[in-house]
Amino acid sequence: MNALAEIRTRFADALVSLVDDPTELLGMIRPAKDATFGDYQANLAMPLGKKLGKPPRDMATEIVEKLAVDGLCSNVDVAGPGFINLKLDDEWLKGSLSAALVDERLGVSKVADPKTYVVDFSSPNVAKPMHVGHIRSTVIGDAISKILSFAGHKVITDNHVGDWGTQFGMIIYGYKHFLDAAAYEKDPVTELGRLYKFVRQLVDYHAAKGKVDDVADKIIELSGQVAALKEKQAAATEKAETKKIKKELSAVTKRLDSQKETGDGLKAKIDAIESNPDLIGIANAHPEIGQQVLLETAKLHEGDKENKELWTEFLPYCWEDMRKIYRRLNIEHDHELGESFYHDMLGDVVSDFEAKGFARTSDGAVCVFMDDYETPMIIRKKDGAFLYSTTDLATIKYRVDHFGADAALCVVDHRQHEHFDKLFDAARLWGYKDIELTHVSFGTVLGDDGKPFKTRSGDTVGLESLLDEAESRALAIAVEQNPDLSEEQQKHIATTVGIGALKYADLSQNRGSDYKFSYDKMLATRGNTATYLQFSYARVQGIIRKTGADMAKVRANPVPFEFATDIERELAVKLARFGETIDEVLVEYKPNLLCGYLFDLTQVFFQFLEKCSVKDAETESLKQSRLQFCDLMSRTVERGLGLLGIGVIEQM
């Protein structure tokens, strides 16, 4: 039951004699924005008319004459300059709702050509506490995986954790110099976390000291430029000149502000150490800590016995912390092949690139030069070390060779876009031309001030505290709304609502944009929130309960759907769009389209409830038809939220 797909097929048939490849034109058939014109609108007569040299209205009429939509559409009109408006046939609609009612998949068919997708998501660097930035990759990747799999594809989820990087050099260095043995004995996870933070702080301190003077110089220089430009601006008389200066001034001011911000950041790192007499002593005693950490990391990579043993000892502790978060988010991966998994393959990657002539040595480093980029992609450093890119190349190879991937999606922060652009081009050069390689990127989570979300003290916000807060706020709502429920039930609601709100707040945003984090907004019982949808779902369950109907029985003896009012038809059209929405989401991997759909559906449903009584419907068959609507609506919301990784509650 996918009206849009069906309409597109019919159009494809009609266009056969007119164009070779109708794909682009078919994309111009869309759900109508204004229902008064019909349910779908095709805007393809304009471009096609232009191409074939025919007036668009005539073109539209010609297409409509060729179009065979009997049984699917009851009305096809040509309007305005050549829009084709289509109205679904009521009997077709009713038939598809009836089919959906008795189908566990709600009438959504599986794709005809299933593919194998590897979805790489969450992928944090272990040993560093997970923070707010990780929530996006985790929930977006999980939702995309679930939706792909519902659509009928084979999906392999992989957590490409960073378990091999400098953070281990830091912990190893910390372990060797600053270990509190008793604390480690008692609670290794916490002690390792402390060591990481501590060493990191010292490394940052020395790095900041090295940079702060440069930044100060830049600030002086840029301030000078700003002052000079301001003078020039005041003296300028011509409009064009003023405009030019203004533009320049704004660019320089931006650079100045960014340098100031960097400078403040560096100063804060320095102050944190220098204001503490104990710390400054330690920092001074470890002046080379930055290099030492790199050395420990290199030793680990080279297979140094002691470091490898320490790494093996630490890794499970690091995982323990992350598992806690995944359990709370109810997220699992099929595989957790971290960077370390690929380490032994990296030498071969580099030699293969060299042997095939795709990489050459430049300044001692092995580089892949590609036309579209100013700088090459380095796959082995001068000192012999491999890079993130080398690992990612090995990863692509493994995903194709081992998993038979047709597509690999990497759900990663937009700031890594250059890495992925280069990586995918290099992989294509290497021979992986036929697989889809996509960086599913996303924007930053912002605080109220529009800057990256931080705690009051300027630290990144830990994921754990985020979950705690969302749940405790949801609990307050649950207690207020359901004072009579048992404590256990209230807690269950709090978890489902709190975690659901957090996930949905993220998923309902266009993933490319930054979004502002707000507990109040995400837990609002009105508007496009999980909380609203969960409440609505529970309300429908309440309505069904009140009629005393047993839905299993209703489904076993269905009646034909009735459109006694316009709103019932409108609801039918909305319900019928579930499958189409799934397709739309997968075009550009945008779960927000599913959120938008569920929200629209729910709003139409409440209009239906306002206008149509279920319990007191005029006839028994109408009552049952309306009950069937309630059933489809609640199952669609349940399934839709489920695909987003969010649960529902029967009563709240």
Residues that bind ligand ARG (CB under 6 A): 120, 123-125, 160, 162, 392, 395, 410, 412
Q: Give whichever of 395 and 509 is closer to ligand ARG, judged by the CB atom.
A: 395
CA distance 307 to 304: 6
Q: How far is the CB of 416 from ligand ARG (least distance, A)?
A: 7
Query: Contacts for 9-16 with beta carbons within 8 Å, 24 or more apart?
Result: 10/67, 10/68, 10/69, 10/72, 11/42, 11/44, 11/63, 11/67, 13/66, 13/68, 14/63, 14/66, 14/67, 14/68, 15/48, 15/63, 15/66
Q: Which residues of 118-153 are buried (b: 16+ CB within 10 A; e: fewer)?
A: bbbbbbbbbbbbbbbbbbbbbbbbbbbbbbbbbbbb
Q: How far is the CB of 412 from ligand ARG (least distance, A)?
A: 5
Element (H, E) at 454: none
Distances (CA, A) of 128 to 169, 306, 590: 12, 22, 29
Q: For helices 305-329 and 166-178, give the axis angle rounded to 10 degrees.
A: 110
Element (H, E) at 122: none
Q: Give whichever of 230 and 381 is closer to ligand ARG, judged by the CB atom.
A: 381
Q: Give whichever of 125 and 625 is closer to ligand ARG, judged by the CB atom.
A: 125
Q: How many CB atoms lie within 10 A of CB 329?
A: 19
Q: How far is the CB of 310 from ligand ARG (least distance, A)?
A: 21
Q: Give whichever of 77 and 464 is closer to ligand ARG, judged by the CB atom.
A: 464
Q: How far is the CB of 286 from ligand ARG (least distance, A)?
A: 26
In which region does residue 378 sit, left (phi positive, over 0), alpha (psi from -120 to 50) or beta (all else)? beta
CA distance 458 to 473: 23
CA distance 106 to 575: 9
CA distance 382 to 169: 19
In which region does residue 460 sit, left (phi positive, over 0), alpha (psi from -120 to 50) or beta (all else)? beta
Q: How far is the CB of 410 from ligand ARG (least distance, A)?
A: 5
Burial class (CB in 10 A: 0-12, 13-18, 19+), 451: exposed
CA distance 615 to 626: 9
Which residues 6+ apart lie within 8 Å of 242 measured at CB?
Answer: 233, 236
Q: Would you say 121 and 141 are in contact if contact means Cβ atoms under 8 Å apart?
A: yes
Q: How far is the CB of 318 from ligand ARG (least distance, A)?
A: 13
Q: How far is the CB of 162 from ligand ARG (least distance, A)?
A: 4
Q: Give whichever of 184 and 388 is closer to ligand ARG, judged by the CB atom.
A: 388
Q: Give whichever of 199 and 412 is closer to ligand ARG, judged by the CB atom.
A: 412
Q: How far is the CB of 312 from ligand ARG (least distance, A)?
A: 20
Distances (CA, A) of 635 to 38, 69, 104, 256: 26, 29, 9, 55
Q: Which two tokens stand for residue 327?
A: 């359990």
Q: How far is the CB of 211 from ligand ARG (least distance, A)?
A: 22
Q: Give whichever of 160 and 333 is closer to ligand ARG, judged by the CB atom.
A: 160
Helix %, strand %, coil % of the chain (to 5): 60, 10, 30
Q: Give whichever of 225 and 444 is closer to ligand ARG, judged by the CB atom.
A: 444
Q: How far is the CB of 460 from ligand ARG (least distance, A)?
A: 13
Count of all residues that appear for the chain in the document: 652
Q: Give whichever of 62 and 392 is closer to ligand ARG, judged by the CB atom.
A: 392
Q: Which two tokens stand for residue 483?
A: 């004072």
The CA radius of gyration of the chain, in Å to the nearest whole number, is 30
Q: Give whichever of 441 and 602 is closer to ligand ARG, judged by the CB atom.
A: 441
Q: How far is the CB of 340 from ligand ARG (least distance, A)?
A: 12
Q: How far is the CB of 334 from ligand ARG (least distance, A)?
A: 15
Q: Give whichever of 138 and 509 is closer to ligand ARG, judged by the CB atom.
A: 138
Q: Give whichever of 160 and 577 is closer to ligand ARG, judged by the CB atom.
A: 160
Dihedral sign, Cα of residue 317, residue 322, residue 323, residue 324: positive
